[in-house]
Amino acid sequence: MKITIHDKRRINEIQQDFARVFPNLQLHFFAAPHESNKAAHEKILIHPSKAISECRVKHVKGEVDIMPHMTVGELKHGLNDAFGLTAQVYRKVGNDWLETVTDTWTLDKHNASCTELNAESTLEVI
């Protein structure tokens, strides 16, 4: 999947593109990087209605190629290096969205893991 990045695009448009391929994952953007191995601080989360120009200092236009075999870490570093974007991937567990803590897992592995977890939680216990 290719996602076009330019200053006038809204964050929610990028999030929708991402969710079409990875329905159990969400992509969030932040005003500033957070420390490695620390939870992203919600106060610097950029609202999805904002333009992408409002959360980056590197104002280049281009496309990011997001592949299922790409790790969360590769996606985050790619978005930062190419476009100056600080991103974090969240995964759906039940009704909650939790920050991924395993940057070495692929996007496909995270997405499939959520599908399995969510399917197990809906099974009826006898």
Model-level pTM? 0.84
Q: Is the pLDDT of residue 63 over 70?
A: yes
Write the pLDDT tens digit of every residue in 100-122: 988 999 999 999 998 887 776 65
Q: Is the pLDDT of residue 20 over 70?
A: yes
- 37-68: buried (b, 16+ CB within 10 Å) or exposed (e) per residue? eeebeeeeebebeeebeebbeeeeeeebebee
Q: Residue 71 phi/psi, 5° resolution?
A: -80, 160
Cα radius of gyration (the chain): 15
